[in-house]
Amino acid sequence: MQIRSAMTNLAIKALSESLNVDVMTVIAEKLMHNYDLYQRTGYPSNIPIQKIDAAKQIVKDIKQQDLFLDLINLLILFHTEGHMGRKYQIQHLKAIIRDVQEAGMIYDQINRTFVENSDFKKTRNWGVLREGQEYIQAFLRLDIVGNTKLVKKYPEDIIQATYADLRDIVKRSIDAREGRIWNWEGDGGLVAFYYGNKNFSAVTSGMEIVHDIFIYNQVACRLDNPLGVRIAVHSGLCEYTANEEDLKKRDVIKKLVDIEAKYTNPNSLSISSVVRNSLDKQLSSHFVPVNGGKGNDIFNYQLRWVQ
């Protein structure tokens, strides 16, 4: 996000008019480890730093480290929840939030962070995830069953059209829930969910994809037999990376791949116990334990005919 000078000036005013230097330093240290305000400003250690100078230096350093939105997040928390038992009335906060929103970001109340407004822009990291930082996320993986045999059996144009159909089905579902495709290889891929109720979003996306593939197989499938797709959802702490090979090494992704490949039948959705336990009872009741799942820690959903 581009930080305009007017937004920078508002942030400086918010700090200098709302907080003393000690509290400003606490905020700076939360965002920048081992931060030394005296060293940064050049003030002698025996002379008190003026509030306006402290604010200018902190905002300058925060901008240089691409932490401006993190600063605003902290100011919102200090204003709404306080710090060490005390709330702070942050001046100009509404104006700052308005400017951030006009720059294409919206505030996610659940994760307490700004994310990009998808009506204006969509990026892989929602505009906020940083390389090498860890975040709690939900992931959905799907894979076409028997893809190698399908490639050998059908002409290239049929295969590519089928791949495109599947991607369209997936995108319709995840776009409605702010999911992002992190990897797509034609026959399947990996989708990430970061903000809002991420587990709920991933699971309901998976369920909707199961339903849409069922309908697709009835009315639009180009293959002689129904298209089979395995879908899995798992969530946990994951270090963000744009490198797809490094991403495969993350524990949460390896667990997800294991659930999809070993415990998921075609055209069904399997979820981990971590995900199931976060769902409300009405939704989780649609998932049954998978035989072979270790300690019944994997649960499956699929469409079933009523007798």
User: pLDDT for 240-272, tens place per residue?
Assistant: 999 999 999 999 999 999 999 999 999 999 999
Give the model's pLDDT for residue 76. Answer: 96
Q: Which pair of tokens denotes residue 153?
A: 């059996």
What percent of the chain has pLDDT above 70? 97
Give the model's pLDDT for residue 293. Answer: 58
Give the model's pLDDT for residue 306. Answer: 58
pLDDT digits (tens, 9 = 90+) for 84-139: 989 999 999 999 999 999 988 988 887 788 888 888 888 999 988 989 999 999 99
| Rounded Cα distance, 197 and 258, in Å | 24
- Determine which of 28-32, 169-173, 193-197, 295-299 has the lowest per-residue pLDDT on average: 295-299
Q: 228-252 burial string, b = 16+ CB within 10 Å, else e?
A: bbbbbbbbbebbbbeeeeebeebeb
Q: 134-301 belongs to which CATH class?
A: alpha beta
| Rounded Cα distance, 133 and 228, in Å | 36
Best CA proximity match to 140, nearest among 184, 196, 110, 186: 184
Q: Which pair of tokens denotes residue 95?
A: 């104006």
Mean pLDDT computed over 174-190 = 93
Q: How many other β-carbons are positioned within 10 Å of the β-carbon of residue 206?
A: 26
Sequence-separated (6 or more) residues with CB below 8 Å from residue 233: 138, 139, 140, 141, 199, 202, 203, 206, 256, 269, 270, 271, 272, 275
Domain edges within the chain: 5-103, 134-301
pLDDT grade for 11, boundaries at 50, 70 and 90? very high
Q: Provide Rg for the chain, Cα atoms.
A: 24
